[in-house]
Amino acid sequence: MTMAKRDTYTPESLLAVAVQVFNERGYDGTSMEHLSKAAGISKSSIYHHVKGKEELLRLAIARALDGLFGILQEPGAAEGRAVDRLEHVTRRTAEVLMAELPYVTLLLRVRGNTDTERWAMERRREFDQEVAELLKQASADGDLRADVDVRLATRLLFGMINSIVEWYRPHNGVASEGEQVADAVVRMAFAGLRT
Amino acid sequence: MTMAKRDTYTPESLLAVAVQVFNERGYDGTSMEHLSKAAGISKSSIYHHVKGKEELLRLAIARALDGLFGILQEPGAAEGRAVDRLEHVTRRTAEVLMAELPYVTLLLRVRGNTDTERWAMERRREFDQEVAELLKQASADGDLRADVDVRLATRLLFGMINSIVEWYRPHNGVASEGEQVADAVVRMAFAGLRT
């Protein structure tokens, strides 16, 4: 028998454990049993905090989405030329992804088997759509290369940003590492590699 | 009882079925039973072609790797300035990914639980390394922006190219669609989006 530890979890610290398990096993492959084991508390203690694993998923996804949609409310995303707003959103999306790494990783991996997952995918599409609109506007302003297809460019831009979750692991939380990555994303996407 | 169809498979057509099942269920989640059902032939018929599912994985991964490493032998990858060779390899990697979509998708998703998967990951790292060397050389030639970190740029470049497997679906095999995507990758990576 495993020794169950006293339940000293806050909703936030329980969420952090759940998200780690979801990312390791996949949401579908995670049972309340797995969550109980990982947290070291009984299932009934978990039910004291949340209705079940889908609520944990919803809370985790909400945290990722709040971070991403929050970007669109920032002055840098709302004022100025579209191309500069697009660059701001690109940089900040990379930053939020790294700051909220496990939460955004989960958001990017959901597959749509439950209502919560379908909601997550829908909201993610809405975010992509907002960025696509910025690209379209920047293109209409003549600030993007004329040979850029907006739909393709949006996909490749997010492909580049989202790929960061595959390899980025923060070391001792040094902010400068994340800044370097965000700089590199913005440089490659907007100025290109060639001199 | 399911009606088993006559085994008219060639190694290649059986491989195509297996790769589809591997990509849908994950390699770990695929049993010989699943392969037998998907192919519509008995397990013993499959064993007539291959030793087991790991051999199918090996053949599929070999096909993806042959495509990718073949690029490095092309004149465009072997002759000329490093930056032009890098651009050629970038374009061709995107093209091979789209031409061999299910095989490269499988390669990108293996996780390293078997010898074959570990070999796949090792070879994939070797390919990335070859491209990183080209980046380093192009940078030394002064043909890449001085503020580009080679390791980061390699990761973001592959992040952008590899993300194509997430959304690219060839319609009626029109080659021009793939060309548009490859063009967009090369433009964004080397020239950037901004005018």
Asked whether this complex has an ipTM greater than 0.95, the answer is: no
Report CB contact under 8 Å: B195, A153. Answer: no
Over its length of 195 residues, how does chain B's per-residue pLDDT go in tens digits?
Answer: 455 677 889 888 999 999 999 999 999 889 999 999 999 999 999 999 999 999 999 999 999 999 999 999 999 999 999 999 999 999 999 999 999 999 999 999 998 889 999 999 999 999 999 999 999 999 999 999 988 899 999 999 999 999 999 999 987 666 678 999 999 999 999 999 898
Report CB contact under 8 Å: B187, A145. Answer: yes
Mean pLDDT, to the nearest integer, of A105-131?
95
Distance from CA of B104 to the nearest CA of A (A): 16
Distance from CA of B184 to the nearest CA of A (A): 7
B73 or A8, greater pLDDT: B73
Report CB contact under 8 Å: B152, A181. Answer: yes
Strand partners, B194: A144
Does residue A1 carry a pLDDT above 60?
A: no
Which CATH number describes the domain made up of A61-191? 1.10.357.10
Distance from CA of A8 to the nearest CA of B (A): 35
Mean of the per-residue pLDDT values of chain A: 93
Question: What pLDDT does residue B188 have?
Answer: 95
Among candidates B127, B124, B117, B9, which has minimal Cα distance to B57?
Answer: B117
Distance CA A145, CA B191 (A): 9
- Those residues of chain B whose CB sits closer than 8 Å to some CB in chain A are 83, 142-149, 152-153, 155-160, 162-164, 166-167, 180-181, 183-185, 187-195
Among candidates B59, B22, B58, which has minimal Cα distance to B38?
Answer: B22
How far, in whole angstroms, is CA B13 from its chain's centroid?
Answer: 18
Report CB contact under 8 Å: B188, A156. Answer: yes
Question: What pLDDT does residue A23 have?
Answer: 95
Closest CB to A152 among B148, B158, B181: B181
Question: What pLDDT does residue A171 have?
Answer: 77
Question: What pLDDT does residue A51 have?
Answer: 94
Question: What pLDDT does residue B179 have?
Answer: 92
What confidence tens digit (pLDDT) does each residue in A143-182 have? 999 888 999 999 999 999 999 999 999 876 666 789 999 9
Distance from CA of B86 to the nearest CA of A (A): 11
Report CB contact under 8 Å: A160, B162. Answer: no
Report CB contact under 8 Å: A188, B184. Answer: no
Strand partners, A194: B144
Give Cα separations from A92 to A99, A176, A180 (angstroms): 10, 14, 13
| Most A-contacting residue of B83, B144, B193 (CB-CB within 10 A), to test interface | B193
CB-based contact A22:A106 (threshold 8 Å): yes
Distance CA B176, CA B143 (A): 29
Among candidates A163, A61, A180, A192, which has minimal Cα distance to B187?
Answer: A192
Sequence ranges of the domains in chain B: 11-54, 61-191
- CATH for A11-54, options being 3.90.1300.10, 3.30.930.10, 1.10.10.60, 3.40.630.30: 1.10.10.60
Q: Is the dihedral of CA B30, B34, B38, B41 positive or negative?
A: positive
Question: What pLDDT does residue B2 have?
Answer: 54
Mean pLDDT, to the nearest integer, of A133-148?
93
Report CB contact under 8 Å: B160, A163. Answer: yes
Mean pLDDT, to the nearest integer, of A16-23?
96
As to burial, measured by CB atoms within 10 angstroms (0-12 exposed, 13-18 middle, 19+ buried), residue A75 is exposed
